[in-house]
Each structure stands twice: as C-alpha cells, then as structure tokens.
Amino acid sequence: MSSQLSSRIPVTVLTGFLGAGKTTLLNRILTEHHGQRIAVIENEFGEIGIDQALVIDADEEIFEMNNGCICCTVRGDLIRILGNLMRRRHQFDAILIETTGLADPAPVAQTFFVDEEIAEQFRLDAIVTLVDARHIALHLDDSREAREQIAFADVILLNKIDQVDVTTRAALEQRLRGMNALATIHHAVHAEVPLDAVLNIGGFDLNRILKQNPDFLELEYPFEWAGLYHLAAGTHELMLQHGPDPTLKLCLQQASQVSASMATWQRQAQVCFEGEATGIQPGETLTRTNCLYELDLTTTPPLHFNWTIHTPAEYIVFTQHDPTEFDMRLMFAGLGLSPLREWSFKPDHQHDDQITSVSLTAEGDLDHSRFNNWLGELLREQGQSLFRGKGIISVKGLDKQLVFHTVHMLMDMQTGQPWGDTTRHSQLIFIGRDLNRAELTRGFAACQVQS
C-alpha cells in the first residue's frame, strides 16, 4: 500500500439487509482478540453493547451537498462523529460503520470524498456487504437497495452458506459476480470470517485486489474463442455445420503485423465486434481483416465460406461462439488446418440484473488530458448510474502509477507505486446500472497514446 493511503485511518462500511448477520459479525469483530482498537459507529437500531470498544450511535442524517444533486448526498452525522474522533485519532486503529438494512451505501461512501476534513484524515477502506445466502436472491429481485449494496461492495460475505445447497450456491455466486466483478466473495457460517478479510483490506487499492484475484479484470468478451493459424496465400475454406444459433460472427486479424501480445489482438477484436457486421452467405468470400462478418448458417449444410489470404502470415480468428458447436473447420487445398494456439473466453453474459461490471485494459500509456476529460465527462454525465469505479492508469510522462477510485460522480485520484521494471498498462473497472460496454470501450481506447 502506498504511504499516502496508509497514513489515514481506515474505515470499513458494513452493509446488508436485516437478518444478514451484521450484528453477529460486529460482535465477532469486537470480541475477538485481534489487538486492534476499533471505533464502531452503529445505526440506531443496533443491539450490541460491548465494553472494550467505543460504540457510537449515528443519526443517519442524509443531506445534499450541492443543491439537489443526489450524487453528492452525504451523511452529516458521520462528518460530525468522524470529525470528533479525528481529535483522538491515535486512540483508534480502525473505524467500522454499520448501516441500516435498507441503507443506500452511496451517501456513506461519498462522505469520504466530499468533506475535505474527513478525506484528509480517513480513507474508505472497504464496503463489506453481508448477504443471507438463503434470502438474497429474493431480495435482489425485489429490492433496489439490495442490488445497490451488492454493486457497491468490495467484499461480499455469503453468510449462512450452510443453509443452501451447492447448486444454489453456485448460481448465487455467478449472479453476484455478474453484478459486481470487483468484489471478493467469502463464504461464512455464523458470519465467521477471518478479520483480515473484513478490516483494513485496502479495498480501494486495485493493486492489492489484483494480487489476491489476478483474474478479476478478465473481461467478459463478445467472443468465446480465438485460434491462431499460419496461413499461406490463396483461398482457404471455412466449413461449418448447423449449430445452436442461426448465425455466427467472426473476425480475422493478421497477428504478425502487431508485435504486441494477445491482449492487443483481443482489444482490436473487441472494437471489431462492437461495430456493424457484414452479412455473408455460404459460397461468398471473406477478404478483409479487422472486419466483423456474420455468417448465415440457415441454409442446408455443409456451409462453405471462402477466405482469401493475400499475404502469407499468422492470422487469428475470433468467433462469437465456441466453434466446436458448429463443427467449424478451416481447410486449405483440401487439408484441414489446426490452430497453432487457441484461447477460450468467458462469454459476455446477458444478465437479468441491470447492474453489471465493465472492465477495460490497455497496454502502454494513456494521454493524461484525454483520459481526464473522458473520465470527467463520463462521471458527470453517467455518474448517477456508475456506482463504483477503480483503476490503475499508466500515463505518458509519469513514472508512477496513477490510482483512482470513484463513487458515483466523485473521484479520488493519486499517484501510486513507481512502474519500475513492470510493463506499463492501464486497467480499470466500472460497476453500474445499464452500462454501455461498447461506448466505454471506445471512449477508453481513444485515450491511448498511439505508438
């Protein structure tokens, strides 16, 4: 963790519906011998009475900082209480704020951005959302608050996990993951989790999240498969059978032209997949690279398409679905070709929940002012539906990482660790309602410095 983060007192926000087990977890945290001094700011209806810790009642006063902007609603009582605790800051190692079951986490989180005095002394360490594994599915269907508590979470504790079967558990986890790709999910019975899974976890520190869960930024792709082929000049034949879908989108890229890695090809393919597709009937010829084709598979098989290669080189084919479902084969001069390498991708799920995560990555540097403008405009215009955002950015001319996180329209950005020998790249993720993945991808891509 960088020094500017660690000098501020970490604050954990505990959310979760009534009955999820917040009180049990609080009691556990307060009675366990962990050696940390924790001040607890609890909601009015809390039931805990603990001698060894300081427990303070909060009033849940929500008010708007800038007339009428709901993105700037903050908790006035927290500003007062934290302002007071600040005067004896060396008496505490950490602060825990419990919110009421139906609370929207945004005003609590925003308090740490909006009030300068608070922002200087405290850092929002993590939003921990406790979930009753038996009832959450129902809550997610019925309650906007429940969905937002999931969307805001850095940590999701699936409590009472012993009370659901394995299938329910898996489905639930997949659903939560679909809404919030960022959160670490823990299982618990009686809210029993190691303390370091909840307190002072550096929830806003993307570096740390990546260390714990290196795959979380793995994008959900508009394609499921890619294969790398070495192709000679001439006309190749692409043969398919009927599959689960009437069409199949694919795009071709010349891989050897770019010296970059798979990530670059993926990104190009992604941009390609977001564009308009060119419809192709069996017997027609595919000629262009970096072009999205949509193969019509409704006629009687076998379905043959031609693919003309002008330059012998390595090419990569991205397909919308797993090609084995269509028994796809690439032939040249009557011989079947096998890919030199192939990749599978996590498909872009069509979630029922409107809340999703979008992650964006780019190798190399971003242009600082273009990035700032893009992010600024994004937060201004879509801040209401963007719950959380986190990123590590590589900016041209800056030898340190730029680390930021956002809550609705508000942003906290600071320099992080030096890049040193590590490969410079940028990664960011947004969690929000009805996010436009294509638009975000395009906007982000436009911030890249062309090498």
Footprint of another protein (CB under 8 A): 54, 56-57, 59, 61, 63-66, 74, 76-77, 79-80, 84, 87-88, 91, 115-117
Residue 180 main-chain phi, psi, to 5 deg: -140, 100
Query: How distant, in Å, are the alpha carbons of 31, 219, 301 from that of 321?
Result: 52, 16, 18
- The alpha carbons of the chain give a radius of gyration, in whole angstroms, of 25
Which residues make beta-bridge pairs with 402? 393, 415
> What secondary structure letter does DSSP report for 221?
B
* Nearest distance in Å: CB 88, another protein: 4
* Nearest distance in Å: CB 86, another protein: 9
Closest among 118, 123, 38, 127 to 74, alpha carbons compared: 118
- Cβ atoms of 108 and 13 within 8 Å: the answer is yes
3-class SS shares of the chain: helix, strand, coil, % to 5: 30, 35, 35
* Helices and strands in the chain: count of H runs, count of E runs: 12, 25
Closest among 10, 60, 20 to 149, alpha carbons compared: 20
* Nearest distance in Å: CB 158, another protein: 33
* Nearest distance in Å: CB 267, another protein: 43
The residues, any chain, with a CB within 8 Å of residue 166's CB and separated by 6 or more, are none
Distance (Å, whole) CA 91 – CA 21:
28
* Nearest distance in Å: CB 362, another protein: 38
* Nearest distance in Å: CB 76, another protein: 3
* Nearest distance in Å: CB 77, another protein: 6
If the CB atoms of residues 117 and 399 are measured against another protein, the closer one turns out to be: 117
If the CB atoms of residues 57 and 162 are measured against another protein, the closer one turns out to be: 57
